[in-house]
Chains A and B, each alone.
Chain A
């Protein structure tokens, strides 16, 4: 049986068409785009096409608003570090408690080493940002507000246009980590107030290690990586031509499949989610149900632990993920679910299923077929599970 891959928020398969687009750039068209000879010129043309493809997916007004980077993490780092330098006299950052570590670790480091002041805005039980707190945190000292477009664990979408406008009222820049949003939902940056946006190739069936930072025309950017004049001096280093071409091809395909992603894929997700909740008691869907990515389902199964679920799923040929402490090597459960105050009884047993256009009805059927058995098997072993009657057993640990 073919494996069922439902971990597309972690990474996606590179589309076969993307691979074919990239291959010539390893072989015949291996030139350096900066060279004067024919080898370089051909590559230059390929890069220009790729840039326009990505520009079209983002709805960016100018193609030079795109700066290629080594991925989502580099884009995030570039945006925040640049803002602290260009926004003279401002050393505060407003962000959320549910950002990706690409933002949170950087912020923690900036607090420690650069005396930056970081405001972490919380979310409610559905994962929605506390807009009031966000508004209050913005001020004359705010250099940049950075709020993700969509959360990687729950798919919850944030109102980035409103947030950008509020940031501008305070004279601050606005950046969004759109790594999970780009390619999955329609994005139109023309006429947008968003100053900077991060994206990553491998989340939209493109290659790993290539990403981009959109920088709205007129917004000053301090490069993170200095050296040659590539990317108009905004990101040094010989262009990753195969990667850039791959990202362009992936962007074009994503645009083509946008409709599919938001109809068929969404339906698959919904069917899985509803099927799980119907078949399995004490299973809760987390995140903002009405307003989230079409491909992401995060379901928490009470009284059992996520890694154990994933191991059994994996044995059944199904790949998913969890924010569970045990799988990440960290000892705490997902910071996103904790920020949402998902109770511990459920937070440890949260499983994320993330779809892509490659998934089918059969995939959903497979999961629905094996999941009830897996959950029952683990609950049988759990000291907290007392049959369908629910109520916790008289488990009285020494130090609860």
Chain B
């Protein structure tokens, strides 16, 4: 089991401020039951002083999620909203005497809920950049802003860290490319701002992604072989379409579906739907489609799932 600090254990076994806060003046909710954790943070603010006078939480999640939520309420009570907004997830982790790296997302959840609750109190629409398209990881409901904040606040430079702090990429892995882009872009901006050494910055494809839950780049059957030249592009697309069509009934019977988005050299972009609900199957599906297409085309292909809604 995890090595939790004494403080984490204490805040889990004897959580402070658990429960519902009647007539809360601001409520922040993040996460979802499907993701494995969710937090509802309720705050009461004194309009005169702008201070948080009371805070309570309800959390669905593991020991460190509950401890982080409880710690958060302890940290913010008595603070002004501006002071509270200056708190980062690292402050929550520090307050608890540290969290196992794989559990840092619990502190990020608290941080996000706090921002959300304050925005709710101020009557702001939280996340002006949060449109449909900005949701990067469907499995864990993670949007671009959250990934960016986690990267900046914690100086993250690897995909594994991003998974630990946000959970993004931790399940079906279809969001890996999108998250890689954000990590690269954010790191580059941090280098520019002098917050990060250029040598540390993440660059897509520069280093192998390590870690237990390695976010899977779709495996390439054989990288070096050139795309087929025998068939015309149109013939290839037709064949790919026919193959995918043949595969759809099987996917649909599992509650999923798949459609062809684009074909570019040996890359086949497909959109999987419904499949994220059953993430392990999604990666199996992608591999299955890939080997079937490779077999039929007689050349290696790389099947790249693109998130729906794009």
Cβ-neighbour of B279 out of A120, A314, A332 (below 8 A): A332
- Are A308 and B62 in contact, with the CB atoms below 8 A? yes
- Are B19 and A381 in contact, with the CB atoms below 8 A? yes
Q: List 14 A-B contacts (CB under 8 A).
A: A97-B284, A111-B287, A111-B291, A112-B287, A120-B284, A122-B254, A305-B37, A308-B12, A311-B13, A324-B62, A333-B36, A348-B36, A397-B30, A400-B34
Interface size class of A (residues with CB under 8 A): 35 or more
- Are B61 and A305 in contact, with the CB atoms below 8 A? yes
- Are B38 and A383 in contact, with the CB atoms below 8 A? yes
Interface residues of B in 7-21 (CB under 8 A from A): 9, 12-13, 15, 18-19
Cβ-neighbour of B60 out of A97, A305, A330, A332 (below 8 A): A305
Q: Given A307-B63, A381-B59, A396-B29, 7 more contacts at CB 8 Å?
A: A311-B13, A311-B63, A331-B213, A339-B280, A345-B33, A348-B33, A397-B141
**Given contacts A326-B61, A383-B38, are A331 and B170 in contact (CB under 8 A)?**
yes
Cβ-neighbour of B280 out of A338, A341, A381 (below 8 A): A338
* Nearest CB of B to A342, in Å: 11
By beta carbon, the residue of chain B nearest A321 is: B1
Cβ-neighbour of B36 out of A117, A122, A331 (below 8 A): A331
A344 at the interface (CB under 8 A from B): yes
Query: Residues of B with Cβ closer than 8 Å to A?
Result: 1, 9, 12-13, 15, 18-19, 29-34, 36-40, 57-63, 65-66, 102, 116, 126-127, 130, 135, 140-141, 143, 163, 167, 170-171, 212-213, 219, 221, 254, 278-281, 284, 287, 291
- Are A398 and B280 in contact, with the CB atoms below 8 A? no
Q: How far is the CA of A311 from the CA of B40 in the complex (A)?
A: 22
A-B pairs with lowest CB-CB distance, top 6 = A331-B170, A326-B62, A399-B141, A307-B62, A383-B58, A383-B40
Interface residues of A in 105-129 (CB under 8 A from B): 108, 111-112, 115, 117, 120, 122
**Given contacts A380-B19, A381-B59, A398-B127, are A338 and B278 in contact (CB under 8 A)?**
yes
Residues in A neighbouring B291, C-beta threshold 8 A: 111, 115, 117
A304 at the interface (CB under 8 A from B): yes
- Are B33 and A303 in contact, with the CB atoms below 8 A? yes
* Nearest CB of B to A166, in Å: 20
- Are B59 and A382 in contact, with the CB atoms below 8 A? yes
Residues in B neighbouring A345, C-beta threshold 8 A: 33
By beta carbon, the residue of chain A nearest B219 is: A112
- Are A398 and B40 in contact, with the CB atoms below 8 A? no
Query: Residues of A with Cβ closer than 8 Å to B?
Result: 97, 108, 111-112, 115, 117, 120, 122, 303-308, 310-312, 314-315, 324-327, 329-333, 335, 338-339, 341, 344-345, 348, 380-384, 395-400
* Nearest CB of B to A189, in Å: 31
A-B interface pairs (CB < 8 A), number: 131
Residues in A neighbouring B254, C-beta threshold 8 A: 122
- Are B31 and A397 in contact, with the CB atoms below 8 A? yes
Residues in A neighbouring B58, C-beta threshold 8 A: 381-383
- Are B33 and A308 in contact, with the CB atoms below 8 A? no
Cβ-neighbour of A325 out of B36, B40, B221, B278 (below 8 A): B36
**Given contacts A111-B291, A381-B19, A383-B58, are A398 and B116 in contact (CB under 8 A)?**
yes
Cβ-neighbour of B18 out of A324, A332, A380, A398 (below 8 A): A380
* Nearest CB of A to B216, in Å: 10
* Nearest CB of B to A337, in Å: 11
* Nearest CB of B to A34, in Å: 39
By beta carbon, the residue of chain A nearest B170 is: A331
- Are A315 and B31 in contact, with the CB atoms below 8 A? no
- Are A332 and B29 in contact, with the CB atoms below 8 A? no
- Are A384 and B278 in contact, with the CB atoms below 8 A? no
Residues in A neighbouring B60, C-beta threshold 8 A: 303-305, 348, 382-384
By beta carbon, the residue of chain B nearest A311 is: B63
By beta carbon, the residue of chain A nearest B40 is: A383
**Given contacts A382-B58, A397-B38, are A331 and B141 in contact (CB under 8 A)?**
no
By beta carbon, the residue of chain B nearest A312 is: B13
